[in-house]
Amino acid sequence: MSQRHVPVMLQRCLDLLAPALEQQPGGVPHAEGQGPVVVDCTLGLGGHSEALLTRFPEARLVALDRDKEALRLSGERLAPFGDRATLVHAVYDELPDVLDRLGLPRVQGVLFDLGVSSMQLDEADRGFAYAQDAPLDMRMDQTTGVSAAEVLNTYPAGELVRILRAYGEEKQAKRIVAAIVRERDKEPFGNSARLVELIRDALPQAAKRTGGNPAKRTFQALRIEVNGELTVLERAIPAAVKALAVGGRIAVLSYHSLEDRLVKQVFAAGAANTAPPGLPVVPEAYQPRLKLLTRGAELPTEEEVAENRRAAPARLRGAQRIREDEQ
């Protein structure tokens, strides 16, 4: 498992979080008698979590994932760390409830890796990958919610066009949806190969010559819709910032522009002062709550992309909590 799962931008994530998680005089405050707490909001196969526990031997890990199979496999991987690792079946916007149940009002570090896990891409029956035929499922938690097939077969055409445009940034959305509606009237969609073939046939030649597999954007859009990813992320990033102790740090790996834009907006809002213009001195209540740790979004190195092609679209942003919210 660890061989097929290569954590993206691992060393840079660890370095970003290190000042908040290393035990040092005057370091980030944490609960009396306990080490620092770091939350991996997207556990996946546990590569980042394992590295966090190894590098920061005093740290306690809380790790969330909505995928029960990922939790099972990661539980085996992280078993040597004993009770330093607490794994929770939850979506990452449930972070405040999880921390409340665990009696952890503040944490010192938070990590998000928003990519689809290697396991989900590699397991054919999950339906995430357009490169192999599989049932059109795409649910990260297969115990709940609607599948990609249900979206394709039941959503009105106008809603499908909106999803492909908004979540896939697909310029040919109308053309693709017209073909989907025409074909689903003949026979409902069930497997990915038929959808991939339909998209290839629907697109003009010029659109097929650029941007990799022509089905990529449609599959991304369906995955985001099925899992409510952007809606969840809109709640999760502010909640994670709020959970940080002063001095705590957050690192977020995004994989497409919609995610990265949302993270950028939350961080930028936290790093700006909110005082009315023209004040000679900015009162404490209006001072920024966050300090940005990255100049824009950092990219993986050429060497990393050569070793791990799934790192190519990654964008990393980091921020540090420098002030409490005003009560």
Closest CA to 77 of 119, 111, 107, 112: 119
Residue with tokens 């503040």: 106
- Determine contact, residues 218/172, Cβ cutoff 8 Å: no
CA 294 to chain centre: 18
Q: Is 97 annotated as a binding residue?
A: no
CA 175 to chain centre: 30
Q: Is 48 annotated as a binding residue?
A: yes
- Determine contact, residues 316/12, Cβ cutoff 8 Å: yes
Residue with tokens 């799962």: 5
DSSP 218-259: HHHHHHHHHHTHHHHHHHHHHHHHHHEEEEEEEEEEE-SHHH
Query: Which residues have a Cβ under 8 Å from the Cβ of 111 and sit 6 or more positions away?
Result: 13, 17, 38, 39, 40, 41, 42, 48, 52, 250, 251, 252
CA dihedral sign, ordered 166, 170, 172, 173: negative
Q: Is 65 annotated as a binding residue?
A: yes
As a whole number of angstroms, the distance between CA 36 and CA 107 comes to 7
DSSP 7-34: -TTHHHHHHHHHHHHS--TT----STT-
Q: Is 89 annotated as a binding residue?
A: no
Identity of residue 1: M
Q: Is 93 annotated as a binding residue?
A: no
Q: Which element (helix H / strand E) includes 108?
A: strand 107-113
Q: Which residues contribute to the annotated binding site?
A: 46-48, 65, 92, 113, 120
Q: Which residues contribute to the annotated binding site for S-adenosyl-L-methionine?
A: 46-48, 65, 92, 113, 120
